[in-house]
Amino acid sequence: MAVINQALLDAVERIAYEAGEAIMSIYARDFSVEKKADKSPLTEADKAAHSIIVRGLQALPEQFPILSEEDIEGFTGVDPNGRYWLVDPLDGTKEFIKRNDEFTVNIALIENGKPVLGVVTAPALDVGYVAAQGLGAFKVEANGERKAISVAGKPKAGVAWRVMGSRSHASPDLAAWLEQLGEHTMLPMGSSLKMCIIAEGFADAYPRLGPTSLWDTGAAHAVLLQAGGRIENLEGTELSYANPREILNPNFVAWGHEPVKHADR
């Protein structure tokens, strides 16, 4: 088992904030946008943050393989104990390009398919979320103050669900899911912040019925788990990171309480 302690969490947090500073220096000026092979956008901020994070993780006392969105080919596979770093240097590149501030830096440590440590920072919003197995989940304010966070629990009967939704992705399947859910209020948000808002207790669910990758969810999944929530696929199985060669997540729902079936509402 990896040595998961406050010192490691603090070190990863510092790396994420350093990456965030580089992102913000680019955010403050004009920047170019490239297209990757899959047509998704790529900016120099993605590249700069990736370099800082990889360098920082490689300087830590305990070394694990690194799977980053910006260097999939460089991933050497999980270590003999099923551990690896899972990194999205700039989650919400579309939000970054739109300049709506809702983008994040995501760093997670995976062990035997589960996210056991996670750091999510939103540099433009000056806020962060950190969590580790055995340490709990915390929101980090702009002044450095840390506040323990936890999920809200299941909404009472007759109370509208607070449902997080993407600003950049929608689908007919989502509309059908929401119709079955019943009375709800949609809360649009970009990047992995959606799951962090649930971890804070300010929302109840986030259905994602479309493609995402492991690095989109790993860090925020760790935060949500330590705050008392969970993420399950549509068959009710906890989202797993055990096979990083399969980089796409299945459709899933992030919950701020024990998962429920629509019939339970």
Q: What is the CATH number of the domain that holds 45?
A: 3.30.540.10
pTM for the complete prediction? 0.94
Q: What 8-state DSSP symbol labels residue 71?
A: B
Query: Per residue in 120-159, pLDDT tens?
Result: 999 999 999 999 999 999 999 999 999 999 999 888 888 8
Q: What is the pLDDT at residue 168?
A: 66
Task: List beta partners, residue 252.
Answer: 208, 233
Q: Which of 121, 148, 175 is the last residue of a domain?
A: 148
Q: Are residues 70 and 48 in contact, defined by beta-carbon separation less than 8 angstroms?
A: no
Instruction: Convert 175-184 to b/e letters by CB count within 10 Å (16 or more is b).
Output: eebbeebeeb
CB half-sphere exposure, 90, CA atoms < 13 A:
29
Same domain, 213 and 250: yes
Look at residue 156 and tell me if it is in a domain: no
Query: Per residue in 197-223, pLDDT tens?
Result: 999 999 999 999 989 999 999 999 999
Q: Are residues 225 and 219 in contact, defined by beta-carbon separation less than 8 angstroms?
A: no
Residues of the chain falling short of pLDDT 70: 1, 168-170, 260-265
The 3-class SS string of 191-222 reads: CCHHHHHHHHCCCCEEEECCCCEHHHHHHHHH
Same domain, 36 and 98: yes
Same domain, 142 and 166: no
Same domain, 169 and 205: yes
Could you give the 3-state DSSP secondary structure of residue 61?
A: coil
Q: Tell me phi and psi for residue 197, to 5 degrees.
A: -65, -40
Q: Collect all residues with Cβ–Cβ distance below 8 Å to 144 and sequence separation of at least 6.
A: none
Q: What is the DSSP string of 145-204?
A: -EEE-----SPPTTSPEEEEEESS---HHHHHHHHHH-SEEEEEE-TTHHHHHHHHTS-S
Q: What is the pLDDT at residue 264?
A: 47
Number of domains in the chain: 2
Question: Residue 239 and residue 113: Cα distance in Å, rounded?
Answer: 9
